[in-house]
Structure 1
């Protein structure tokens, strides 16, 4: 069966100079296979991923695997512990204001220069190994820069070094008030149907700072450039995803088991498990390209009742929300109803009833298609 190990990664030091550690759980199979990396809670309020990893660990104790699976729960203990009253303010580094999920590394020029070093007959496994070393060495240089780095970027780069060794990278997140959805690189569209997730966002080869992009943008760019150089299609078989498993600030062990089994269905299909019975559920799955994942902003502030539920289709002209204006309670301007500008599926909405003008009220699928 598998070899199991547990160690700790120092991700930061607090103001007293004490190390802040996160546990790393590793399962190594007796047979060769893909390397898998799964992390959760880079945003402090997004805690459900820890329950998912708990279920994965309990299951993997009794499953034979191929390759290696590394699990990193609660990968941002700083964000997890930033509390204000009843709420976790763990989305941004409180010192620098940086989004904890936007400090990963991507370098288009490094990829271009690397392709020039690839010999015509160099095997793909050798290319992958050298490329990983090149990226990890560059990350090392950044982490030891004389001028230093902000805390969020330090944390991200340490995690990216672990993740970049993997063939499969899964970053577990939650929305504010949200239904399940997944970010999938366009080249891995077929893999979206291997998860038990009904809503799929297809991502282009554009880096915006997140871990999944820091993984697939490097490999996707290398794949395209090398395919052009060799005049034949090159596939490195590296995939990375962001899984959004529902709402933040809450956990459910039952829902966590569902999401763990969803991940195991994908891993089983990718040859990571031996004689396992996990397979994706028969379900309706819809997808959008990133440019059709729209944000509905508020035109005015007020107190909001959210009428449209995440995951439930809304037709053009149907109500999405009702806004109360406390300065106009005596007249017809006391309330305003917001209507859907087109057919859409709300995926998440702002968590508070009190909103300012310009708030991201809903994020919605528009011009969505059925996945088969």
Structure 2
């Protein structure tokens, strides 16, 4: 099948409005491996838009040469609802204004137990046959999901495009950060080449965050089934969240660099025909997500960092200060930001005016932190 673009219309939320999702399809439908990529689920995180735009150009050239072996679906703008939340020139696209609010990348529909009930008594000794059976039941459960609201329709559409993919790559970014990724523990080795190609040296590894995020939802069915069926049901999907540096790290140079890395990865996985790149992943280090220190502002005020993104830090070390502008004694108006983990300072909020108690910086550590709650590792 030649390259095609499909438009998916979302349920109309208000009179006279209508939003769409555009999906770019490469390769024959049903061909394997299948890879799904999207950007902008958090609608205020934009680097992925340009990266996928550049990747589509590369894939169109490959398609013209007949090099697409598998199936690739790209949704370069995954959240038109969030993009419409323009408030006096600012797009607060992380949380929904309507449909009960909430983080756009939390609380996605969980289908594992429903598929498990359908599958009971039908698992065979043929692992590939079982994968096909599970995918058919996933499709049936997806079709039964409600789409009474615009947000429900968006979630249902994105899952219908992604949940039968062998790999799901969800592109995000942080406020200010080095390239990093959130990866399920089971897939650390599998995705190490991807991180290396992208130049990411930090991977945050977790079993389950409790967030029911988009990337976790795509593998949740398989994780649920493997607890009962082990090797009889191999991983039918692997997913991760890529954090493409910071919000303002947007340029043609970055976009072309990252798009070429993703293209090389598709060649490496046999989705696109070509000479597989040699990958040195020796610099990629995984840090447990429950060992990540979320540094909180001890006071409201202006934050001044003394450490840079990518710097190593030690527990007890000061990485910056918050200046309380309302303090009467200006000589005693600075409050230190103290690291609680030995590791790497890899991300921070872009704003320099912060609120008391707000998580404003992230340090990837190696040892579990007692104050980090397993199953509730994302605070927002």
The verdict on a shared fold, with TM-score over 0.5 as the criterion, is: yes
> SS of the counterpart of 1:66?
coil
Specify the alignment match of 1:135 in structure 2: 138
Structure 1 stretch 235-244 or stretch 275-284: which is displaced more?
A: 275-284
> SS of the counterpart of 2:275?
coil
Task: After TM superposition, give the deviation of residue 334 of structure 1 in Å.
Answer: 1.7
Hey, what's the Cα distance between the residues in 2 that align with 1:233 and 1:261?
36
1:71 to 65, 74, 80: 74
Specify the alignment match of 1:124 in structure 2: 127
Specify the alignment match of 1:113 in structure 2: 117
Normalising by structure 1, we get a TM-score of: 0.88
Hey, what's the Cα distance between the residues in 1 that align with 2:129 and 2:278?
32
Normalising by structure 2, we get a TM-score of: 0.86
Task: After TM superposition, give the deviation of residue 111 of structure 1 in Å.
Answer: 4.1
1:352 aligns with 2:356: no
Hey, what's the Cα distance between the residues in 1 that align with 2:123 and 2:283?
45
Conserved? CA contact 1:6–1:26, under 8 Å: yes
> SS of the counterpart of 1:183?
strand
- CA 1:273–1:41: 2 relative to 1, 3 Å: same
Specify the alignment match of 2:378 in structure 1: none
Specify the alignment match of 1:267 in structure 2: 266
1:248-327 equivalences under 5 Å are: 248=247, 251-280=250-279, 284-327=283-326
Hey, what's the Cα distance between the residues in 2 that align with 1:36 and 1:270?
10
1:217 to 220, 244, 253: 220
- CA 1:129–1:342: 2 relative to 1, 3 Å: closer
Specify the alignment match of 1:24 in structure 2: 23
Hey, what's the Cα distance between the residues in 1 that align with 2:344 and 2:53?
31
Conserved? CA contact 1:48–1:248, under 8 Å: yes
Conserved? CA contact 1:320–1:339, under 8 Å: yes
Conserved? CA contact 2:5–2:22, under 8 Å: yes
Specify the alignment match of 2:375 in structure 1: none
Hey, what's the Cα distance between the residues in 1 that align with 2:278 and 2:105?
30
- CA 1:117–1:242: 2 relative to 1, 3 Å: same
Conserved? CA contact 1:100–1:156, under 8 Å: no
Hey, what's the Cα distance between the residues in 1 that align with 2:141 and 2:309?
41
Where structure 1 has 5 or more consecutive residues not aligned to the other structure, the ranges are: none
Structure 1 stretch 212-221 or stretch 277-286: which is displaced more?
A: 277-286
CA RMSD of aligned residues (A): 2.5
Conserved? CA contact 1:106–1:207, under 8 Å: no
Hey, what's the Cα distance between the residues in 2 that align with 1:309 and 1:84?
31
Structure 1 stretch 244-253 or stretch 67-76: which is displaced more?
A: 244-253
Hey, what's the Cα distance between the residues in 2 that align with 1:322 and 1:328?
14
Task: After TM superposition, give the deviation of residue 164 of structure 1 in Å.
Answer: 0.7
Hey, what's the Cα distance between the residues in 2 that align with 1:208 and 1:30?
31
Structure 1 stretch 341-350 or stretch 273-282: which is displaced more?
A: 273-282
Conserved? CA contact 2:295–2:339, under 8 Å: no
> SS of the counterpart of 1:251?
coil
Higher strand share: 1
Specify the alignment match of 1:188 in structure 2: 187
1:89 aligns with 2:92: yes
Task: After TM superposition, give the deviation of residue 189 of structure 1 in Å.
Answer: 1.1
Task: After TM superposition, give the deviation of residue 237 of structure 1 in Å.
Answer: 4.8
After superposition, give the CA deviation of every residue in 1:73-125 in whole Å (9 maximum; x if it has no partner): 1111121232233432011111222211114221342243244232434x333
Specify the alignment match of 1:175 in structure 2: 174
- CA 1:354–1:258: 2 relative to 1, 3 Å: same
> SS of the counterpart of 2:61?
coil
Structure 1 stretch 168-177 or stretch 345-354: which is displaced more?
A: 345-354
Conserved? CA contact 1:193–1:280, under 8 Å: no
- CA 1:25–1:183: 2 relative to 1, 3 Å: same
> SS of the counterpart of 1:37?
strand
- CA 1:57–1:276: 2 relative to 1, 3 Å: farther
> SS of the counterpart of 2:356?
coil
